Structure formats: structure tokens, C-alpha cells
């Protein structure tokens, strides 16, 4: 039971990121008119795709790896862009043993133990200590939802048509030949140190948009991965 409780706290710690401060402007290079047009077209495409899945509900297997080992649990996620998140971890009998939600300021959790339910809450300050940096909720929810954050910012090309960055943020991403996001990197305020990386794979056609059924978030020596089994977009049903 102690292991299960510690894993629940890990879920709580990782699934809820704090609202961070916007980093200073990153240096930009000059781009040709053709590159600018291409970037704008790509930007509009991302916005259109995100509008079709502003609410993502999914069943997935979540795996957390760190220096203490590997832990796995089934989870049900309800993600509403840009920053709302509810998660339930359940066992093989479909009994919920951990539930996490946010009201936008504080984060609440319930963990089922042999002595009954154990409730608690955490704050942005504690989460910042866990991550060693202030991680914006918008960033983390977007990663779990298989999309990009910061789509209110302009997108710029780098040296080629596969590497892009966002204006005023140390943030770059790569796409494949079909325009699907393969990975993205979040730097620190100076843009020289990587805070975390997100990798998307196993893209499948869902309606008119492709969705990555495999999400891997790499955070220094820790890693969180999701393997979706089922997803729904912008639907009102509360269960599958």
C-alpha cells in the first residue's frame, strides 16, 4: 500500500503543473517572405486542428520512470484546453484509487488506501520545487492532449522546414512531411538549457485530424509516457 500511495503522489506531482511566468523574448533571425507565409499557413492549420479537439477525453496506460524504478497505472483523462485537467487512476477491477483535479489555483487529490480515502491538496509553490522550474499548466495539458501550447504566439521557421520556434519563447518543435508534430523542446529563460522534451508518435486518423496515441515527456532523469487506448474529442458524455 505504501508503494501505491507513493505512486499516487507521483501522479499528483506530475499531472499538475503550476502556472509559470512568461520567459523573456528569445532572439530571432530574419526570414524570407516565403518562409513567413509557410509558417502562417502551418499556424492556422494547428489552430484549426486544436479547435476540433479543445476537449480531449481518453483512456490510457501511464508509465512513470525515475531513479526509484518504473510504475504503471491505467488512467482516465479529461483535458480541456488550455489548462483544465482531471485525472483518475484505476486498477484492474476498474476501481478508482487516485483522483486529481484543479480549480485553476489549487490542486486536489484523493487516494484510496486500506484505511479509506485520503484527501489532500497542493499548491503552485510545492510543484515548482518538484519540477525545479515553474511549468505553466497550458504547456503540460497541451502535451497530454497531443498538441502544441502557445498557439497565440507567432511561429517562425529556423534553418529548414522541419524546425520551428515560437516568438518570445525558448520553445522549438519539429514536424514530419505531413505536418504532424514529432517532438518539441522547452528551454530555460536563456534558451540554452533543456527543461523538458515532448515526443509524439503512433499517429492515427481520428475523424479529419491525426492524433498521437503515444506521448512521452522527458524531464531530465525522469520520464512520463502515455499510451492511449481510446480518445474522444469535444464530446459531452462523461464516460466511455
The answer to whether 11 and 222 are in contact (CB under 8 A) is: no
Domains of the chain: 2-233 (2.50.20.10)
pLDDT tens, per residue, the chain with 240 residues = 444 545 554 555 554 433 333 333 333 344 455 567 778 888 888 888 888 889 999 999 999 898 889 988 899 999 998 888 899 988 765 577 788 887 666 778 888 777 777 888 876 666 666 677 777 778 888 999 999 987 877 777 765 667 888 876 788 899 988 889 999 999 887 767 899 999 999 999 988 889 999 999 998 888 999 999 999 998 745 555
Distances (CA, A) of 51 to 55, 77, 182: 9, 18, 20
Between CA 180 and CA 148, with CA 234 as vertex, the angle to 5 degrees is 30
pTM listed for this prediction: 0.80
Question: If you count them, how many residues does the chain have?
Answer: 240
Dihedral angle, C-alpha 22, 25, 29, 32, nearest 10 °: 60
Amino acid at each position: 500500500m505504501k508503494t501505491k500511495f507513493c505512486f499516487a503522489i507521483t501522479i499528483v506531482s506530475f499531472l499538475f503543473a503550476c502556472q509559470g511566468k512568461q520567459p523573456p523574448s528569445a532572439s530571432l533571425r530574419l526570414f524570407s517572405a516565403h518562409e513567413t507565409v509557410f509558417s502562417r499557413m502551418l499556424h492556422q492549420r494547428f489552430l484549426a486542428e486544436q479547435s476540433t479537439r479543445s476537449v480531449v477525453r481518453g483512456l490510457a496506460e501511464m508509465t512513470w520512470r525515475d531513479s526509484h524504478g518504473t510504475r504503471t497505472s491505467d488512467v482516465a483523462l479529461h483535458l480541456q484546453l488550455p489548462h483544465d485537467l482531471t485525472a483518475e487512476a484505476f486498477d484492474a477491477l476498474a476501481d478508482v484509487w487516485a483522483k486529481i483535479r484543479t480549480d485553476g489555483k489549487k490542486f486536489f487529490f484523493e487516494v484510496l488506501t486500506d484505511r479509506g480515502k485520503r484527501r489532500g491538496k497542493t499548491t503552485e509553490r510545492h510543484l515548482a520545487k518538484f519540477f525545479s522550474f515553474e511549468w505553466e499548466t497550458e504547456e503540460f495539458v497541451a502535451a497530454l492532449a497531443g498538441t502544441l501550447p502557445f498557439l497565440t504566439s507567432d511561429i517562425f521557421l529556423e534553418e529548414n522546414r522541419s524546425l520551428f520556434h515560437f516568438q518570445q519563447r525558448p520553445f522549438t518543435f519539429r514536424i514530419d512531411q505531413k505536418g504532424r508534430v514529432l517532438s518539441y523542446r522547452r528551454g530555460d529563460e536563456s534558451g540554452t538549457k533543456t527543461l523538458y522534451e515532448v515526443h509524439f508518435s503512433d499517429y492515427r486518423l481520428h475523424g479529419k485530424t491525426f492524433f498521437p496515441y503515444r506521448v512521452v515527456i522527458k524531464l531530465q532523469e525522469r520520464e512520463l509516457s502515455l499510451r492511449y487506448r481510446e480518445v474522444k474529442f469535444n464530446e459531452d458524455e462523461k464516460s466511455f
